[in-house]
């Protein structure tokens, strides 16, 4: 049970995968007024809620001197149950999400997931048809429960496209939302983080992914975070890759069109227009 001296997070990033979360974690970690745990994805409110609130809040213990404290788990936005858990336990928290155009997000996720989790021979059509991927792509449906509970004042949507086009403006937008000095320029502002990569040995990468899952399950998310930030570990497991995935434009467009009904409702929900580039694949 939390007491009067318990330190709570003041913000959470709730999504999305392949939406710049590694870079966002880095620029938040570099701000002198912000504390984020070494683990980018604690996964408490969705996968590890059974560990208990005290375990979760221990990640912020002794960090009350920071103006902003938070964590980044890019799968939180999947579930209305997760939204309710967050509201029940930390109702005053602020939430933000970085959305990315679906085609680019799926192509990036396709490359990554074949390296870490799925069969390397899986086709893009098979990947896009997975129920979990279909669910991820329904941005509007997934965000409605969060807006209903937290309201627009404590919800913020930023776009991956802004990160690509104007990282300084993107950075200021996040810093301003979490209520720290928005003029601070982090060392990693113009650095590419988590560039596209492929496994050096498929079975080793798959094994590392499974080990990381169990370490998080056992409450060792910070250990996983430190390992993922270790350049030697990353170099052992992966190599940079910009190889053609063999996916046609029409394949990507066809998948994106399945979710075109989400776009206008999403823009109305968040109170601002979506990037113009989002509509190019749903025409």
DSSP 84-139: HHHHHH-TT-EEEEEE--HHHHHHHHHHHHHHHTS-TT--HHHHHHSHHHHHHT-H
What confidence score (pLDDT) does residue 197 get?
Answer: 47
What confidence score (pLDDT) does residue 210 get?
Answer: 62
What confidence score (pLDDT) does residue 120 get?
Answer: 77
The torsion angle over the Cα atoms of residues 160, 164, 167 and 171, rounded to 10 degrees, is 10
Per-residue pLDDT tens listing for the chain (283 residues): 445 579 999 999 999 999 999 999 999 999 999 999 998 899 999 999 999 999 999 999 999 999 999 999 999 999 999 999 999 999 999 999 999 999 999 999 998 887 777 777 889 999 999 999 999 999 999 999 999 999 999 999 999 999 999 999 999 999 999 999 999 999 999 887 554 445 544 545 555 556 666 566 666 666 655 555 555 544 544 455 556 788 999 999 999 999 999 999 999 999 999 999 999 999 8
Whats the size of the chain, residue-wise? 283
Q: Would you kindly state where each structural domain of the chain is located, as residue ranges?
A: 11-270
Asked if CATH classification 3.40.50.720 holds for the domain at 11-270, the reply, yes or no, is: no
What confidence score (pLDDT) does residue 281 get?
Answer: 96
State the DSSP code for 230: -
C-alpha 283/C-alpha 279 separation (Å) is: 6
Q: Which two tokens stand for residue 217?
A: 């399950």
First to last CA, the chain: 52
C-alpha 154/C-alpha 149 separation (Å) is: 10
What confidence score (pLDDT) does residue 174 get?
Answer: 98
């Amino acid at each position: 049970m939390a007491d009067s001296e318990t330190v709570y997070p003041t913000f959470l990033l709730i999504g999305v995968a392949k939406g710049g979360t590694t870079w966002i974690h880095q620029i938040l970690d570099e701000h002198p007024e912000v504390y984020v745990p070494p683990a980018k994805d604690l996964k408490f409110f969705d996968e590890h809620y059974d560990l208990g609130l005290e375990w979760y809040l221990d990640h912020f213990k002794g960090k009350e001197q920071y103006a902003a404290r938070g964590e980044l788990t890019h799968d939180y936005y999947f579930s209305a149950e997760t939204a309710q858990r967050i509201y029940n336990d930390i109702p005053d928290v602020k939430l933000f999400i970085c959305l990315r155009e679906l085609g680019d997000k799926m192509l990036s996720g396709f490359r990554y997931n074949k390296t870490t989790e799925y069969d390397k021979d899986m086709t893009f059509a098979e990947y896009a048809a997975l129920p979990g991927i279909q669910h991820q792509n329904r941005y509007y449906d997934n965000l409605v429960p969060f807006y209903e509970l937290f309201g627009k004042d404590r919800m913020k949507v930023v776009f991956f496209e802004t990160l690509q086009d104007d990282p300084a403006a993107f950075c200021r937008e996040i810093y301003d939302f979490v209520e720290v000095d928005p003029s601070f320029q982090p060392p990693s502002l113009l650095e590419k983080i988590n560039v596209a990569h492929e496994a050096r040995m498929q079975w080793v990468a798959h094994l590392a992914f499974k080990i990381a899952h169990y370490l998080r399950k056992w409450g060792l998310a910070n250990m996983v975070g430190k390992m993922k930030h270790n350049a030697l570990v990353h170099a052992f497991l992966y190599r940079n890759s910009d190889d053609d995935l063999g996916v046609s434009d029409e394949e990507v467009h066809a998948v994106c069109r399945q979710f075109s009904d989400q776009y206008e409702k999403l823009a109305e929900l968040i109170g601002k227009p979506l990037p113009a580039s989002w509509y190019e694949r749903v025409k």
